[in-house]
Chain A
Amino acid sequence: MLEIKNLHVAVGDKEILKGLTLSLKPGQVHAIMGPNGSGKSTLSYVLAGRAGYDITSGSITYNGEDLTALAPEERAAKGVFLAMQYPVEIPGVTTMTFLKTALNSQRRARGESDLDAIGVLKLVRAKAKTLNVSEDMLKRALNVGFSGGEKKRLEILQMSVFEPKLTILDETDSGLDIDALRVVAEGVNILRDPSRAMLVITHYQRLLDYIVPDRIHVLAKGRIVAEGGKELALELEAKGYEHIVKDVA
């Protein structure tokens, strides 16, 4: 589903990703762990198509297509979803209006017909209930005045409404208490199925107790420096990143 080969990415003059290679198959959940500044968020933004990240060499292929040639909205319509670390507050646009506009934009781009207001409302309400997203949050301006936990739950609500094929979770666990973490993880796990893939980016092992990955990659200084099964997370938790990172030239 996703093939990243020898990816080099620079922001301005500074090279952040220095030859990253990764392969993700349908049905799989991979985790990317790494210390601060290792390039985790850069990877997530590059996958979503944010401006300001220059791909200097390497390739990203999504379902056989060059992902980097697509605009962010085209990627979304083709099933790529990034749950952001810092969801943006947009005063003046209600959460419900935003969800309806986004969902129908994706549907239209795929040649599907618009869902009417009532159809969207029903869909969103049903999903919102399982994620403890209140009716009030849906009526309020997007992310404005939401707590850290509410913002993250809203990201997962979007994920469950859009039903993406490839989800990237960027530090979705940060700022969540244990109850919120459980709710978020359940929302994610519901979407796990043989047709979808997920990339879980996290600093801590904690989230991976709830979203159990098939494979873990350790990112340091812009490169994958170690790989392993879910037990690698426990090792990192016990020993820290340093013993792995210091071995990297």
Chain B
Amino acid sequence: MTLAIADRKAEAAAIFSGHGVPHRRVEEWKYSDLRSALGDAGIGAAQAELHVSQMAAGIESFDLSQPNPPTWVSAHFGQAHRNVMSAASLSLAQGGMAFRVSGAIAEPLKLEFAAAGHVCALLVLEAGASLTLVESVGIANFRNVGLEIVLGEGATLEHVRMSPQSGEAVLVENANVRIAAGAQYRAHFASFGSKLSRMELEIALEGDGAQAHLSGVALLDGNRHSDVTTHVIHRTGNTHSTQLFKHVAGGHSKAVYQGKVTVAKGADGSDSIQSAKALLLGDAAEADLKPELEIFADDVKCAHGAAVGDLDAESLFYLRARGISENDARGLLLQAFLEDAVAEISNTDQRELVRTELLTALKAIA
């Protein structure tokens, strides 16, 4: 028995009011104190915007502020609201957009979240559909995005999100992804940090052969912050997930990765790899890496690793001894450190775009 959208919103409102704005004494928000970043203004009830900058013919859409949603919207929208901030976006956002893809779409769907406040979006890929979703993040004092993604059997989605650097913005996003049998979700998150920047993912591998491949880079300086928090749940057996996150933190910045993988009871034969690495460029920079495993099944292959370090002095000397200036050598090594995570992006244009942005930012940071 599923609830009507209005009832899901009411339930979400109750969940949010039960918790309030998360702060550092809430375990999941320990490294990202949203309450203090927002101060007295709190989360408000303003309405953020969702702009469609490119959408190929063949993609259906629906304006979530309108009444009488079609079944593909009412069946899926607002199902994910148990997380405190996704509960907030669902209960407070009046607008947003829903998209439905039925076939193979070559041209990326480009969305931009803009302005301050709350906004929701839903993306449904029907069985066998394929798409690249490019998400850009506009700067705002505070924005809370709730994104739901539903992948039908055998569907494939590549999701690339780039979050620009901003000293003042508080940017929170929760993406909930449900992946059916044989479907594949690839996602890459490039973050240049803001006052507080949190990308949270809840990913459920729900059918045989479902896959999720997550990667990301963060390149931070000044007082900027970037947090990527993931929870991947292997609900059935023969599901596969990989995670590769590389963070570079200079100045007084703070890079956070929290990754939890749950292998549910009966999800035998699941396979998961998690790797998070950070380089600190100074004594005042901070990296918090927290991989976690929760296994209730048998015969699973799960590996996780985390490492925080400094640039390798021997490599630096080698490059300098070949005539490369110290600054350029540091830039080259940082670029190399980030490269394997960037290489995870399949879409060539997007991969080059992320590389170019990183190079520009590296010149300023190295």
Contact = CB atoms under 8 A, between A and B. Distances in A.
Interface in A96-141: 98, 101-103, 105-106, 109, 141
Q: Tell me if B's interface is mostly helix, strand, loop or mixed.
A: helix
Interface in B310-339: 312-315, 317-326, 328-329, 332-333, 335-339
A88 interface: yes
Contact of A76 (B312, B315, B323, B335): B323
Contact of B336 (A91, A102, A103, A158): A91
B340 interface: yes
Contact of A50 (B312, B317, B325, B329): B317
Contacts of A178: none
Interface size class of A (residues with CB under 8 A): 20 to 34
Nearest to A89: B315
Contact of B322 (A50, A141, A158): A158
Nearest to A104: B323
B323 A73 contact: yes
Interface in B168-221: none
B322 A102 contact: yes
Nearest to A86: B314
Given A90-B336, A92-B337, A93-B332, A101 B324 contact: yes
B323 A106 contact: yes
Given A51-B313, A51-B317, A88-B314, A73 B325 contact: yes
Nearest to A99: B322
A222 interface: no
A92 B335 contact: yes
Nearest to A97: B332
A87 B328 contact: no
Contact of B318 (A90, A92, A105, A109): A90
Nearest to B339: A92
A71 B315 contact: no
Given A71-B326, A72-B321, A84-B321, 15 more contacts: A72-B320, A73-B320, A73-B321, A73-B325, A75-B321, A82-B321, A90-B315, A92-B340, A98-B322, A101-B328, A101-B332, A102-B324, A105-B323, A105-B324, A141-B336
15 contacts: A48-B321, A49-B320, A71-B320, A72-B321, A73-B320, A73-B329, A75-B321, A77-B323, A84-B318, A90-B336, A92-B340, A98-B322, A101-B332, A105-B322, A141-B336
